[in-house]
Amino acid sequence: MIQRRMRMALSKKNEASSGHQCPGLFCGVDFGRKILLTLVGILIVYLIFYVGVLSRNVMLQYEYIGQAPATERTITVTGYGKVEAKNDIAVTTLGYTNMDPDVTKAQTANTTVMNKLMADLENMGIASKDLQTNYSITPQYSYANNQQELQGYRVDSSVRVKIRDLTKISQVLSLAGKYGANEIGGLSFTIDDTQSLKDQARLLALADAEAKAATLSKSLGVGLGSVISYNDYEPSSPTPQPFYATMNSSLGGATAAALAPTDIAAGSNTVEMNVVVTYHIYTSRW
């Protein structure tokens, strides 16, 4: 009887031991195994995705090997702008040329005449920034019997005068022949500030190019996009001066001054600008 009871108790103990389970996921060995399996699964998914993307890129590259890049759809137009403005500056040149066997005497005589001319110009209100001087000394030789002999030294001095007050043109030209001045250049007219006129001409040229591009794109049935490239330049051919008179030393001072008209017409000048603009074009079909 005692043995039977002992066997029954031992059997119940074994049943209880064999039926014991860990609650939830917090069972040591099983929990670590599940975490490991989860990480391995995520890694496999990422690996599959990476291999797929890599294979797709390789296939795309293979498709474009040997093919020319797609041509960008554009149109290029030119524009022209012109601005006309009244000349506001006159330019002329006054000078003196002399020669002497003694270089010092030649320089002194030349300097005396030019200093008087410069003083008169400054008294007329010509600013120093509008006076540009040139000066040179050249030995003069004679040749006889295959021999070279020094005759003296020639001194050339001149001043380029920019006349902003056009009412003083005749007054400036009257200096020709005064104090012995024997050189006078031409009288020409120009515009002092051409940059602002170029900017205006450029804007007109851009408007012209844009109008042409709009008309052309409409005719082609395409839309006009952004600007791809731009370039501008001035016409290569120079614009003719409205007035230019040439007077030389052989005329003499009184004759040179007499050539200056009483009423001088400065005239006008033209500033031109060309532009080249490339636009992107598009359609709903592309």
Residue with tokens 């040149």: 93
Which residue would you say has higher pLDDT here, 108 or 55? 108
Least confident of 61-65, 131-135, 166-170: 61-65
Taking phi over 0 as left and psi of -120 to 50 as alpha, with beta for the rest, 164 belongs to alpha
Query: And the tokens for 17?
Result: 């031991």
What is the model's pLDDT at position 63?
57
| Distance in angstroms (rounded) separating the CA atoms of residues 191 and 209 | 27
Q: What percent of the chain has pLDDT over 90?
A: 51
Checking if the pLDDT of 240 tops 50, the result is no
**Identity of the residue numbered 128:** S
Whole-angstrom distance, CA of residue 123 vs CA of residue 121: 5
Residue 126, burial from CB neighbour count under 10 angstroms (0-12, 13-18, 19+): buried
Residue 7 has pLDDT above 90, yes or no: no
Query: Using CA atoms, how far apart are residues 101 and 114, in angstroms rounded to an integer?
Result: 20
Is the pLDDT reported for residue 286 higher than 90? no
pLDDT-based confidence at residue 67 (cuts at 50, 70, 90): low
Return the CA Rg of the chain. Answer: 48
∠ CA 65-71-77 to the nearest 5 degrees? Answer: 165
- Residues 278 and 87: their CA atoms lie apart, in Å, by 35
Q: Is 70 a residue whose pLDDT tops 70?
A: no
Q: How confident is the model at residue 13 (pLDDT cuts 50, 70, 90)?
A: low
Name the residue type at position 65. Answer: I
Q: What is the pLDDT of residue 234?
A: 92
**φ/ψ (deg, to 5) at 161:** -110, 125
Tally helices (H) and strands (E) across the chain.
6, 9
pTM above 0.85, yes or no: no
CA distance 269 to 262: 22
Asked whether residue 25 carries a pLDDT value surpassing 50, the answer given is: no
Instruction: Give the per-residue pLDDT at 254.
Output: 45
Task: Grade residue 127 by pLDDT with cuts at 50, 70 and 90.
Answer: very high
Task: Say which residue, 135 or 44, is predicted with more confidence.
Answer: 135
Q: Which domains are present in the chain?
A: 89-192+242-264 (3.30.70.2970)
Please give the structure tokens belonging to residue 10.
């031992």
pLDDT tens for 254-285 read 444 444 555 667 788 899 999 999 999 988 55
- Give Cα 151 to chain centroid, integer Å: 53
Considering only residues 261 and 61, tell me which one the structure prediction assigns the higher pLDDT.
61
